Amino acid sequence: MILLIFLLFFIVISLLVMILFADDIRAARDRDPAARGSLEILLLYPYLHAMVVYRLAHFFWVNKIPLLPRLLSQTARFFTGIEIHPGATIGKCFFIDHGMGVVIGETTIIGDNVTLFQGVTLGGTGKETGKRHPTLGDNIVVGAGAKVLGNINIGNNSYVGANAVVLKDVPANSTIVGVPGRTTRQEGKKIDLLMDHVHVTDPITDKLRELHKRIQELEEKVKK
C-alpha cells in the first residue's frame, strides 16, 4: 500500500514537472544529441533538477521569505553541482549541458534560449553592491569554463568561447574568445541553434595569419 502511494505520488509529481518545465525539457531535447526522451531528461538530467529547485527558491526569494531560498539553492548545489542563486532571473528554454561547476550569481539576468556548458561562471567582481552580475540576452551560448564577470551585457545571438574571460559589454551577433575576451562578428547567426564549437573565429589568430601571408608575399618580392 505504501509503495503504491509512493508510486502514484511520483507519477503525479513527474507529470506536473513535465508540464511546468516543458520548455526546459524541450530545450534539452533540441540541443543535446545524447537525450533519448523526456522521461530520461526528467529522471537523469541534473540541470533540470537544479531548475526545478531554482524556480521554487526564486518564488520564495521574490516573496521575501528568509533563509529558505538559500537553503534550497545550496541543497540543489550539493546534489547537482550547479549553483543558481535564487535571486537570479532566468528566461524560457534555458539549458545547461552537463552542468557540473556552473555558478550563476544573485543579480544575473538571463534571456530566452540560452545554453551554458560545464564550468561556466556568471559572477561579480570585487565587493560592489546592487547589480553586479552579467545580463545575457536571447539566443546565447556560453562555452565550457567561460567566466562572464561584472555588471556587463552580452548581446543577443552571441557565443562566448570555451574558457574565455569576459569583462566588458559585448554587442549582439558576436563571438567572444580568449583571455581577456576579444570580440569578433558572426553575421547574426543564432549560434545556440547551430551549437558549432569548432568554427569559432579568433580575431588575433586572423590577424596573425594575415601578417604571415603578408610576410610571405614580401619575401617572394625580395627574391625576385
pLDDT digit string, tens, across residues 28-47? 777 877 777 777 877 888 88
Residue 165, SS3 per DSSP: strand
Share of the chain above pLDDT 70, in %: 80
Mean pLDDT for all residues in the chain? 82
Residue 195 — pLDDT band, cuts 50, 70, 90?
low
Q: Say how far apart CA 203 and CA 145 lie, in whole Å.
A: 20
Position 23 scores a pLDDT of 75
Write down all domains in the chain, each with its CATH number in brackets: 88-224 (2.160.10.10)
Beta strand spans in 35-173 (E): 83-84, 89-90, 95-97, 103-104, 109-110, 115-117, 121-123, 135-136, 141-142, 147-149, 153-154, 159-160, 165-166
Average pLDDT value for residue range 56-77: 92
105 in Cβ contact with 86 (< 8 Å): no
Q: Is the pLDDT of residue 16 over 70?
A: no
Position 193 scores a pLDDT of 46
Q: Is the pLDDT of residue 190 over 60?
A: no
Q: Say how far apart CA 37 and CA 17 lie, in whole Å.
A: 15
Q: What angle do CA 92, 158, 73 make, to 5 degrees?
A: 40
Residue 186 — pLDDT band, cuts 50, 70, 90?
low
- Residue 54's closest CA among 27, 93, 28, 85? 85
